[in-house]
Amino acid sequence: MSENNKKLVLRVLNSPWANDIKTPVDLSNTDKFYPVYKSFDNNFIHLKGETINTATTKDNKLVINKVNGEDIEVDLLNIEGTGDTYTSAFSIPTVKTVGGIPSSTPIEDLTGKTISEIIDLMLFPTQTPSHNGPSTGLVLNGLGTIYQIGQEFSITLNTSASGGGWSPSTYPGGVTQPSTYAGNVTNAVITYNGGGTSTVDGGNLTLSGDYGISDPIDGNYRVVAGNNSWSLTTTFAAGEDAFDSKGDTMVGSGYPGGVKTASDSFQGTYPVYVVNQDGSFKTLPLMLLTTNPVLITIDFEGTASDAANFEFRIPKAFGTPTNIVQKDYQGIWGDVNLLNNRWKLNTITIDTEYDTNVEYHQFKWDDSQGKIGPSEFKVTI
């Protein structure tokens, strides 16, 4: 080393480079260095501004022994150069989104970052999880969708609740989301919305754990006309905030707290009756009180000597009939209204299987105008 240019040059003997091409490095971890340089191929390290006695390498570190007895260590794996930082010639925000750097990013947010940091921002943008839930559920256990009015049975109302969750639940580097989106259930109430009475109507249900809700039972419910419905209102506490892929808290991302509802129901109706050849009546599959039109099939020969008079009965709760047409042998519905013509309309009161004194429309074929064979009819209400 010369006195005028105190510089230690460390060079690998088999370097393929002929010239000492150097880039500036900022060793800001010590105020004892003036600018330090390293070469593009990592074969050169140049140190200026200190009087060096010896220098050795150990465990990927350069140990510099100064003449005054002090030692300085340089981590050769993490050394960065001042020339590796980003400096833009522009003063305006970015104009396009590139990977994780959105458009309109202030240039000040990028200035001073290392080239590696800029590339990471582009290739590995910060990710945020999505959420689902919370939710609650109500099921009338084992029941169908339609029953006869007046029928009685026990109903178990099965409840459920979930706090939802975050997806993905984890990110590389140990970032783990809260186990649920919402907090725990704080209250649950079932309300009866039918036209009858139910022992399950109001009152707070019993809670267990974070999301457990008791399953109440109405032991002797009687079906009423139309909608027989129950609804569950479940209240959830606020949830914890989630984290982005960098581990930063997403403030305000947790469920704010609130209620979720669920319901289940079935319909109550009266049956439609159609005469059999022997004069008894069969019950058609149950249909809603709002069914329109009503399709009737009489499947026996009306001209037979022992055949009963064609007849069918529709509950008055369905509404007032206005038109009856017959399907011809080609399967086409006719356009002649047979109501109060071939079909005579009366009102009768009968007992159903589960109710008494129910008013029905009675439709009877006028045999005086001729008997017919098996036929299909469409009744418009």
Domain boundaries, the chain: 7-82, 131-269, 273-380
119-128, 133-142, 178-187, 215-224, range with the lowest pLDDT: 119-128
247 burial level (CB within 10 Å; 0-12, 13-18, 19+): exposed
User: For 20-42, how does the pLDDT look when each residue is reduced to its tens digit (9 = 90+)?
Assistant: 444 444 444 444 443 443 433 44
In sequence order, the 6+-apart residues with CB closer than 8 A to the CB of 348 are 313, 359, 360, 362
Residue 228 pLDDT exceeds 90: yes
Evaluate whether 381 touches 319 at the Cβ level (below 8 Å): yes
Residue 17 pLDDT exceeds 60: no
Taking residues 3-31, what's their average pLDDT? Answer: 45
> Average per-residue pLDDT in the chain?
86
What's the token pair of residue 66?
């100064």
Residue 112 pLDDT exceeds 90: no
Residue 306 pLDDT exceeds 60: yes
Comparison of pLDDT for 52 and 365, the residue scoring more: 365
Q: What is the pLDDT of residue 52?
A: 58
User: For 252-295, how does the pLDDT look when each residue is reduced to its tens digit (9 = 90+)?
Assistant: 999 999 999 999 999 999 999 999 999 999 999 999 999 999 99
Evaluate whether 232 touches 136 at the Cβ level (below 8 Å): yes
| pLDDT interval class at 83 (50, 70, 90) | low
Q: What single letter denotes the amino acid at residue 112?
A: G
Per CATH, the number for 131-269 is: 2.60.40
Give the Cα separation of 378 and 381 in Å (integer).
Answer: 10
With helix as H, strand as E and coil as C, how does 107-147 read? HHHCCCCEHHHHHHHHHCCCCCCEEECCEEEEEECCCCCEE
Q: Containing H/E element for 274?
A: strand 273-275
| pLDDT interval class at 125 (50, 70, 90) | confident
Give the Cα separation of 167 and 338 in Å (integer).
Answer: 64
Comparison of pLDDT for 340 and 69, the residue scoring more: 340
Radius of gyration of the chain measured on its C-alpha atoms: 43
Give the Cα separation of 108 and 83 in Å (integer).
Answer: 18
**pTM (2 d.p.):** 0.70
